[in-house]
Amino acid sequence: MIRLGAEPSKMREIELDDVFISRLQLLIIMSKAYLSGYPLGRHRIKSILENANHVKLEAVGLEEDLEWFKKDMAFNDTLGFDSAFYQRVKLLSVMAEAIAKGYDLENHKKEALEKNLNALCESITFNKQVSDMQFLKVA
Amino acid sequence: MKIAVIDADPIVRDFVVGTLMYSVNRDVLPFENGLDAWMHFEDDGVPDIIVADVNLEDITGTELLDKVKGLKRDTVVIFYSDLLEKEAMVKEAGADAFLAKPFGVTELFSLVQQFVVDGR
């Protein structure tokens, strides 16, 4: 039996913050795959739209929590990101939606997307490369 | 290639479904309980890959595994849980893979690579 995931001593339930970070990582991979020219398909488009929507809604909620945190120091912001981070997340979700809807991004927008992806990857220390996932080359 | 995901928790289920759907660019069937899934499998055929939370309310993971393998032996059955004892249980029962919670996109992509691309 193949075993993947958390080490035995670190096993625990999946929390909302875990899902947010995982969905953000997925959105980063989806966007990097687009920039690398990997093909889309009907189900990939559906998946990108759904994921972008989830991430955008969650980022709005977390940013509001952050504003609350600034006013009330007793509130505990579990993720600990700043407002700029959530702005970048929302920007990524909008750009991913545009990709899924078939809008052709001009070069300067692709550069902006790449810059945004790099900043987000640095914030969440995520360095997965789409070249590691050859199956994404097949539609 | 048919894939099904069974989990009562919609937050985790939707994330797993979305990640797998994107990876394979195929529809992925979501079910919130084991009996609904089983009834669907009996009518429409057992999927090639089943990814399920071990803690299903209406049927145990090992019962589901026995039923599925009894109908279609080569179906890949993957369970996930946050409990170490469940890992030992599904290993003993003959599951193909176990995902220890918390897991993320990297682990789901690894499953796609191993069971869809490499066909192991």
Query: Chain B within 8 Å of A113 (Cβ-Cβ)?
Result: no
CA dist B69 and B17 (Å) reads 22
Is A94:A49 a contact under the CB 8 Å cutoff?
no
| pLDDT more than 90, % of chain A | 64
| pLDDT more than 70, % of chain A | 91
Query: Chain B within 8 Å of A3 (Cβ-Cβ)?
Result: yes
Taking phi over 0 as left and psi of -120 to 50 as alpha, with beta for the rest, B85 belongs to alpha
pLDDT for position A131 = 82
Question: Taking 80 as the threshold, does the pLDDT of residue A135 lie above it?
Answer: yes
Range in A97-101, A102-106, B98-102 the model is least confident about: A102-106
Question: Taking 80 as the threshold, does the pLDDT of residue A76 lie above it?
Answer: no
Q: Taking Cα atoms as reference points, which of B86, A26, B83, B66 lies closest to residue B50?
A: B66
pLDDT for position A73 = 59
- Among A29, A135, A136, A138, pick the best mutation site for testing chain B contact (most B Cβ within 10 A): A135
pLDDT for position A48 = 98
Which tokens is B76 given?
A: 């890949």
Could you identify the residue written with the tokens 């590691």?
A: A132
pLDDT for position B104 = 96
Average the pLDDT over A104-127 and give the result: 91
Query: Chain B within 8 Å of A135 (Cβ-Cβ)?
Result: yes
Eight-state DSSP code of residue B15: H
Query: Chain B within 8 Å of A43 (Cβ-Cβ)?
Result: yes
Question: Taking 80 as the threshold, does the pLDDT of residue B120 lie above it?
Answer: no
pLDDT, tens only, B47-71: 999 999 999 988 988 999 999 999 9
pLDDT for position A72 = 63
Question: Taking 90 as the threshold, does the pLDDT of residue B36 lie above it?
Answer: yes
| Cβ separation A14–B83 shorter than 8 A | no
Q: Provide the pLDDT confidence category of residue A97 given band limits of 50, 70 and 90.
A: very high
Query: How many other CB atoms sit within 10 Å of the CB of residue B18?
Result: 25
Rounded-to-10 torsion of CA A135, B1, B6, B10: 50
pLDDT for position A84 = 87
Is A18:B16 a contact under the CB 8 Å cutoff?
no
Chain B residue whose CA is closest to A23? B15
- Among B7, B84, B101, B108, pick the best mutation site for testing chain A contact (most A Cβ within 10 A): B101
Range in A60-69, A112-121, B107-116 the model is least confident about: A60-69
Residues of chain B neighbouring A44 (CB-CB closer than 8 A): 21-22, 25
Question: Taking 90 as the threshold, does the pLDDT of residue A62 lie above it?
Answer: no
| Cβ separation B105–A139 shorter than 8 A | no
Residues of chain A neighbouring B110 (CB-CB closer than 8 A): 4
